[in-house]
């Protein structure tokens, strides 16, 4: 009886370990998004990119001009994510914004040279280190 029980336990253990799925590699990418300048831009990018298969989390920091994405490498890659951001009208690292979609962005989300905000504070200009330091001391 003990041999049968021991055999059943070993067989169950072996089948459990052979059916275990491998851990999927999760990477974190940091993408420079210099043309993101407001909460509306942030929401637009996060909503769009989160739909992609393999994207686990996304955070757009429009003040620092940086987008952080955690994704599964077996489902997507960094180039596809940069292209996704560019396809909705925003520059992403070395990939320029899709012109057609950039033209459809609201005026407040465009670059100053294209009719966007031009008076200080220019929301599309990255803050200087002095401004960051000043804001952190408030």
- Mean pLDDT score of the chain: 81
Of the listed ranges 34-38, 41-45, 77-81, 117-121, the one predicted with least confidence:
117-121
Q: Could you tell me what percentage of the chain is helix, strand and coil, using 3-state DSSP and rounding each to the nearest 5?
A: 45, 15, 40
For the stretch 81-130, pLDDT in tens is 999 999 999 999 999 999 999 999 988 888 888 877 765 444 555 556 66
Between residues 132 and 51, the one the model is more confident about: 51
| Per-residue pLDDT at 127 | 56
What are phi and psi for residue 19, nearest 5 degrees? -90, -10
User: How many angstroms separate the CA atoms of 109 and 88, rounded?
Assistant: 12
Contact indicator for 24, 74 with CB cutoff of 8 Å: yes
For the stretch 16-34, pLDDT in tens is 555 555 667 999 999 999 8
Domains, the chain, in order of start with CATH, read 26-127 (3.30.70.100)
Q: Is 98 left (phi over 0), alpha (psi -120 to 50) or beta?
A: beta
SS3 labels along 68-84:
EEEEECCCCCHHHHHHH
What does pTM read for this prediction?
A: 0.70
């Amino acid at each position: 009886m003990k041999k049968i029980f021991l055999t059943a336990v070993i067989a169950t253990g072996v089948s459990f370990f052979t059916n275990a799925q491998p851990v999927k590699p999760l990477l974190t990418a940091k993408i420079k998004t210099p043309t993101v300048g407001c909460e509306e831009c942030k929401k637009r990018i996060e909503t769009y990119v989160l739909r992609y298969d393999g994207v686990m989390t996304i955070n757009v920091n429009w003040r620092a001009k940086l987008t952080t994405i955690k994704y599964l490498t077996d489902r997507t890659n960094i180039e596809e994510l940069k292209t996704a951001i560019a396809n909705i009208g925003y520059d992403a690292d070395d990939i320029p914004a899709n012109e057609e979609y950039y033209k459809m962005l609201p005026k407040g989300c465009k670059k100053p040279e294209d009719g966007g905000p031009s008076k200080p504070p220019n929301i599309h200009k990255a803050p200087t280190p002095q401004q960051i330091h000043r804001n952190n001391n408030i």
